[in-house]
Amino acid sequence: MTQKAFDYTQDYACELDKRDELASFRNEFYIKEGMIYLDGNSLGLCSKRAEKSLLEIIDSWKEFGIDGWTEGKYPWYELSEKLGERIAPLIGAASEEVIVTGSTTTNIHQMVATFYEPKGKRTKILADDLTFPTDIYALQSQVKLKGYDPDTHFVQVKSRNGQTLEEDDIIEAMTDEIALILLPSVLYRSGQILDMKRLTEEAHKRGIVIGFDLCHSIGAIEHNLDEWNVDFAIWCNYKYLNAGPGGVAGLYVNKTHFGRVPGLAGWFSSDKSKQFDMEHTLTPAEDAGAYQMGTPHLLSVAPLIGSLEIFEEAGMANLRKKSLHITRYMMDLIEHELKDMGFALGNPTDDAIRGGHIYLEHEEAARICKALKANGVIPDFRAPNGIRLAPVALYSSYEDVWKSVQILKKIMQEEQYKQFENKREVVA
């Protein structure tokens, strides 16, 4: 960055907060006094509305018992579908294409078991070498389940620099041996946004099914999955969507695939009108509901009800606008304040391909993260040398960003990080 768009004073940060149209949403969240939380891209903070909706589901259990499936403020039987309808606008999908169900990993297994149909020459799965490990483990196991060897039938596109991917390299790897592709929408380390529209078009030109892992993009950037004609997508709801630790995840299936029998069926795959007929022949739902398996985890679904209210009020376009501005502000501050301290900015600087977090690399990253926590700043360490910092649009202030950079500067100047061991904690 050569042109400076920001002042570097605390007063200026406070002035930006006064102008912030989303500032009032900060009051919706539980923020510990003296803490600057910059880890919402890993686990979002608890909101008062999420707490309220969780307690309401517990109350319905207390009041109705088993009748809570069909009675109360949020009847449980179709709650997953109702929440799918509310998430659909966040990803540019039709309401019937989205369902709240499972976890990221179980939903990957479901989608791959459904769409990975090796035939003839097309027997391989394509991914990348920067994606989150659970995606890799699930894809490798699905290759094995089809009787193939992951060493020969699981293809990973290599990064040229260890931080980002070249889309041309991904397209080049779309050979006539590839049956299915799963890629991240946003890379979990560097925050690079992949061009989902372009990659989908190129996959479809070659007759390949393609899906995306939206874990690090949903709630942070805008999507148009229907317009891009993506085949399927999966995601968790506990990062930017603040649904709580272990919150139930979600999946999207393009309506062009409706009628396909789920690869992993269970009784919640059923057409709702037939489910309690208890037949031993499955009649799948005619929409994304078909890709559910077991009974919804109601107490882990409940916080999402309140969280989505906040997103509906804030508006995804407004959230993305602030996210781009506050991350730009943070990058500018880092460049100005942390020169010659050994940091390298690993995330894209271009707004069009930058997700919701900043990614710094430093050889002392693990120790620096521990020092930040000791000073009340909550970052996210990613081995071997990455520091993720996420100023989340709903609850991070510009003053938070200013203070966190000043704290980081002081840590480096005073070498506070040397008090700590340079290895990660059990949960990084």
Q: Binding residue per annotation — 123?
A: no
Q: Binding residue per annotation — 134?
A: yes
Q: Binding residue per annotation — 11?
A: no
Q: Binding residue per annotation — 132?
A: yes
- Do residues 125 and 181 touch, judged by C-beta distance below 8 A? yes
DSSP line for 297-309? -HHHHHHHHHHHH
For residue 170, give every residue at least 6 positions away whose Cβ sits within 8 Å of its Cβ, in sequence order, or none: 126, 128, 157, 183, 194, 199
Helix, strand, coil: what percent of the chain each, to 5?
45, 15, 40
Q: Binding residue per annotation — 135?
A: yes
Secondary structure of residue 103 in the 3-state scheme = coil
Q: Binding residue per annotation — 238?
A: yes
Q: Binding residue per annotation — 213?
A: yes
- In eight-state DSSP terms, residue 295 is -
**C-alpha–C-alpha distance, residues 216 and 347, integer Å:** 13
Nearest in space to 241 (alpha carbons), one of 226, 221, 213: 221
Q: Binding residue per annotation — 384?
A: no
At 165, the amino acid letter reads L
Q: Binding residue per annotation — 280?
A: no
Q: Binding residue per annotation — 104?
A: yes
Q: Binding residue per annotation — 105?
A: yes
**C-alpha–C-alpha distance, residues 271 and 81, integer Å:** 12
Residue stretches of the annotated binding site? 104-105, 132-135, 213, 216, 238, 267, 295
Residue stretches of the annotated binding site for pyridoxal 5'-phosphate? 104-105, 132-135, 213, 216, 238, 267, 295
